Structures are given as C-alpha cells and as structure tokens.
Structure 1
C-alpha cells in the first residue's frame, strides 16, 4: 500500500508502471517518497511561520496544510512532466524552468525552518534590538515633553532664585544694623541711635517682604512641581503604552531580518540541503538513462499520436470526398429542365407580388 502511495506521489502512470520491472518501480517509489517528504517539510515550515504571524495553533495548521498540498502538487507536476528525450540538451532545456521553480520552492521552505533552528540566536538579536528600541523610544518621548519640562523647571528655579535673592538682601540688612549697634561700621558709635533705628526698620520691612514673597512663591513652586509631576506621569504613561508594541516586535519579518544579521554560512548550508532535496527528483530523472517505463510511455504516446494523425487524415479525406460528391449532385440537378421551369414560375410570382405591394404603398401616400 505504501509503495502504491509513493508511486501516486511520483505522478507516474500506475497502470503502465505495473507492467515494468521491480527496479523501475523502485525508482519511481523513491521519487514519490522525495516529493511526499518535501511536502511534509513544507507543512512544518509553513505552520511554524504562520504560527509566528497568528500566534494560534489552529489557523497555522490549517494554512500550513493547504500550503503543503500546494507544494506537493507543484513538485508532483514538475517531476511528472519531465520526459526523457533522445538528446540530453533537449532534456536540460525542458527541465530548466522546472529547476528554477524547484529552487524558489526550496528557498521558501527552508527559510522558516532556519528561523526555528536558529531561534535562540535570533531571540538574542531581537532582545538587543528591543533594548535599543526602548532607549530610542524613551528619548523620543522625552524630547516630546522636554520643552514643557524645561520651561516648568526654569520657572521653578526663577521663583527659588527670587527667594534666595530676597533672603540675601534681608541678611545684608541684618548685618548692617547689627554692625551699626556694635559701632564697627556705619557711624561707628556704640549703641542704638537714630541711624540704627532707621536700618532696623529697613531690615524689618525687607523681612516682611521676604515672608510674603516666600508664601507667594512657595505656593507657585508647589503648583509647578505638581505640573512637573503630571508631565513626568504623562511621559511614563506614553512610554508604558508603547512598551507592548516593542515587546511584540518578534513577528515573521523581524525574525527574518534578525536571521540575516547572523553568520550566513550555517543558514546557507541549510538552504542548500533543501535545495538538494527539492531538485533531487529532477536531477535524478535527467541523469538516469532511459528506463523501461520511459520506453513504454514513449511507445504509448507515439501510438496515440499515430492514431490521431490517421483519424485526422481520414476525416479530411471524408470531407473532400463528400464535397466532391455534393458538387457532382448539384451539377446534375442544375441541368434538370422541369426544376428550372418550376424555379422560373416561382420567381415570376414573387416579382409580381413585390410590384403590387409597391403600388399599394404609393397609393396610400396620396
């Protein structure tokens, strides 16, 4: 049963192959097995590739099965349409388009399997790219809020500087009236005279202004610090919202690009392996000498061609003979006097009717 299944996979004429030797049948069993297992590998490759797209098993299995059937049908068609010729160059010209198609199929099948084989290395490349994307995203979002944050920070700094400036002024006035009382500066008279009182009053007024300024600016600073916290919260929210997108950066295209960043030699050898598997039935047919099946197939085709040519010639001869006979029959009829007189009378009657109808139409116009 397995033998018959693989012969079916090879696309060979089973009835014709059954009349061939066991060795000839074994050759086509091998070709059919190669076609079948290529379809199996196509199923595995496409199912894995589609799983990375859909993140679901069932759609991946369904579409993978459909894809494997397509590859199976293409391979079966490629192998079954290659026929042995009398010249190798003719066979090569016949097989060239099929070999090119086989190469394309091999590349398509091998790529998803390469992604699976080098999955750990690809994950390392993707992790590095994700980290770079996270840093770039934070920088981009930070630049988006930078102007507002810098402006708010500058306003807070300006308010704090106003307080420090006023505090320095108050401290300077304090030092001035103290040194006046001590007699070390100013009038240099020990004691609390009128000048001391004037400087003390000036200090007290500045102190009240400082207290008022502190109350006002600290309220503004608290408000602006609240705004700054809101800006930071918005920035963090923006970064966290984009995080799932970056984490999801592991689809099929991302993995293919990551695979291209790995050393090319291992991937190239895997592709060569699938290329050899895919093209092996075609190459085997090209290199193998004409077998029993090929001779019987050629005999059946030439016999059918001869029959078709003979049938075509007989039909053409039948048409020519029939035409010649009809020409002769109608020539004899044309010489018949009675038939001529009958045709003449009928023609005269038709012309008379046409003339009467024309006269009636002319009368109707008056």
Structure 2
C-alpha cells in the first residue's frame, strides 16, 4: 500500500506500471517518495516562515499545508512530464526549465529553515540593529525638542544674569553710601550728611527695584522651567510611543536581511542540501536507463498520436473533395441563363427601391 502511494506521488501511469517488473515499480516508488518528503519539508519551512509573520500556530499550519500541497503538485508535475528518449541531450534540454523551477523552489524552501537553524545568531543581529535604531530614534526625536529647550534655558540664564547685574549695581550703591558715612570716600566727611542721605536713597530705590525684579523674574523662570518640564515629558512620551515599533522589528523581511549579514558558507550548504533534495527526482529520472514503463508509455502515446493524425488527414481529404465538388456544381449553375435572368430581375427591383427611398429622404430634408 505504501508503495502504491509513492507511485501515485511520482505521477506515473499506474495501469501501465502494474504491467512492468518489480524493479521498475520500485524505481518510481523511490521517485514518488522523494517528491512526497520534499513536500513535507516545504510544509515545515513555510509553516515556520508564516508563523514569524502571523504569530499564530493555526494560521501558519493552514497556509503551510496549502504551500506544501502546491510544492507537491509542482514536483509531481515536473517529474511526470519528463519523457525518456534515446538522446540524453534532448532529455536534458527538456528538463532544463524544470531544473530552474526546482532551484527556485529549493531557495524558497531553504530560507525559512535557515532562519530557524540560525535563530540565535539572527536574534543577536536584530538586537544590535534595534539598539542602533533606538539611539537613532532618540537623536531624531531630540532634534525636535533640543532647540526649544536650549532657547528656554538661555532665556532663564538671561533672567538670572539680569538679577545678578541688578544685585551688583545695588551692592555698589550700598558700598558708596557706607563709605560716605565712614568718610573714606566721596566728601570724606565722617557722619550722615546730605550727601550720605542722597546716596542712601539711591541705594534704597535700587534695592526696591531689585526685590521687584527678583519676584518678577522668579515667576518668569518658573514658567520657563515648567515649559522645559513639559517638553521633557513630551519627548519621553514620543520615545515610549515609538519604542514598541522598534521592539517589533523582527518580522520575516527583517530576519531575512539579518540572515544575509551572517557568513554565507553555512547558508550555502543548507541551500545545496535542499537543492539536492528538490532536484533528486529529476536527476534520478535523467540518469536512469529507459525501462519497460517508458517503452510501454511511448507505445501508448504513439498509438494515440498516429490515430489522431489519421483522423486529421481524413478530415482534410474530405474537406478538399467537398471543395472540389462545390466549385464544379456552382460553376455549372453560374452558366445557366435562367438563373442569370432571375438574379438580374431581383437586382433591378432592389436598385429601384433604394432609389425611391433615397428620393423620399431628400424631400423630407428640404
């Protein structure tokens, strides 16, 4: 029963193959087994690849099964359409498009399994890329907030400098009126005279202005610092919002690109393994000698071809004979005077009707 199943997988004509030897049946059962297990590998590879896309086991298995059946049907078609002949060159020419298709299928099958085999190495590459993307993302977002923040900090520094300058001016006035009272500067008269009082009034006015300036600038500084805090929070929010996108950067395309960054030799050998599996049915059929099954299949197909050619030739002869008879019959009819006069009469009647209709149409248009 297992042998019959693998023979069915090979695409061979079971009615013809059952009349052949056991060795011939075993050959096609081996080819069918290769086709079957290639489809199984395709199912596993595609299911894993689709799992990385959908992140759902049932969806991956469903579409993986469809892909496996598609590969099975393609391989079965490829093997069953290669016909053995007496010329290896013609067989190779016949198999070339199928080998190219087998190479494409091998690439498609091998890639997902390569990603699974080198999963740890791919994760390391993806981690490095995510870290780089995180830093680049922070720098890119910072370009939106840094100029505003720096401007606000400069404004705060300007307000603080304004207070410091006013304090220096007030301290200078204080030193001036104290020196006047002590008699060490100004009029150099010891005591609190009119000049002392004038300088002290200037200091008191400057001190009042300083207190007012400190209060006013403190309010401005608080408002500016609140704006800086708001910008910092907005910056942190954007980082938090965009980070999940970077963390989710591990889809199928990202993993394929990460796989390409790994050393090529291991991946190449895995590809060669699948290429060998995929092309083995074709190569086995090309290298195997022409057996009894091939002769019987050729005999059956040539019999059908001969019978079809006979029917086509017969139809062509019937058509040719019928054409000759029709030409002769209608040629004789064309020479009869009675037919000629009848056709002439009908043509004249038709021309008169056309002329009358044209005349009436012209009268209506006037």
Q: CA deviation at 1:276?
A: 0.8
- How far apart, CA to CA, are the structure 1 residues paired with 2:306 and 2:181? 139
Secondary structure, counterpart of 1:293 in structure 2: helix
- 2:139 counterpart residue number: 139
Matches within 5 A, 1:189-204: 189-204=189-204
- 2:238 counterpart residue number: 238
Matches within 5 A, 1:76-95: 76-95=76-95
- 2:219 counterpart residue number: 219
Q: CA deviation at 1:120?
A: 1.5
Q: Which moved more, 1:149-158 or 1:169-178?
A: 169-178
Q: CA deviation at 1:216?
A: 0.5
- Determine whether 1:289 maps to 2:283: no
- How far apart, CA to CA, are the structure 1 residues paired with 2:346 and 2:308? 55
- 2:164 counterpart residue number: 164
- Determine whether 1:69 maps to 2:69: yes
Q: CA deviation at 1:184?
A: 3.9
- 1:268 counterpart residue number: 268
Q: CA deviation at 1:58?
A: 3.2
- How far apart, CA to CA, are the structure 1 residues paired with 2:179 and 2:4? 118
Q: CA deviation at 1:284?
A: 1.2
- 1:36 counterpart residue number: 36
- How far apart, CA to CA, are the structure 2 residues paired with 1:322 and 1:266? 72
- Determine whether 1:125 maps to 2:125: yes
**Cα 1:291–1:220 shift into 2, 3 Å:** same
- How far apart, CA to CA, are the structure 2 residues paired with 1:207 and 1:251? 68
- 2:98 counterpart residue number: 98
Q: CA deviation at 1:354?
A: 7.3
Q: CA deviation at 1:151?
A: 1.5
- 2:310 counterpart residue number: 310
Q: Which moved more, 1:219-228 or 1:170-179?
A: 170-179
- How far apart, CA to CA, are the structure 2 residues paired with 1:360 and 1:253? 78
Alignment TM-score, normalising by the size of structure 1 = 0.87
**Cα 1:156–1:362 shift into 2, 3 Å:** closer
- 1:278 counterpart residue number: 278
- Post-superposition Cα deviations, 1:76-123, rounded to whole Å, max 9, x if no partner, equal 111111111211111111111111111011101111111121111111
- How far apart, CA to CA, are the structure 2 residues paired with 1:273 and 1:177? 99
Q: CA deviation at 1:168?
A: 1.7
Alignment TM-score, normalising by the size of structure 2 = 0.87
Secondary structure, counterpart of 1:68 in structure 2: helix
Q: CA deviation at 1:51?
A: 2.2
- 1:23 counterpart residue number: 23
- How far apart, CA to CA, are the structure 2 residues paired with 1:349 and 1:242? 93
Q: CA deviation at 1:349?
A: 6.7
* Residues matched between the structures, number: 359
**Cα 1:282–1:361 shift into 2, 3 Å:** closer
Alignment gaps of 5+ in structure 1: none
- Post-superposition Cα deviations, 1:321-357, rounded to whole Å, max 9, x if no partner, equal 6677x579959x96xxxx99xx766776776687789
- How far apart, CA to CA, are the structure 2 residues paired with 1:273 and 1:280? 10
**Cα 1:187–1:311 shift into 2, 3 Å:** same
Q: Which moved more, 1:147-156 or 1:353-362?
A: 353-362
- 1:45 counterpart residue number: 45
**Cα 1:82–1:171 shift into 2, 3 Å:** same
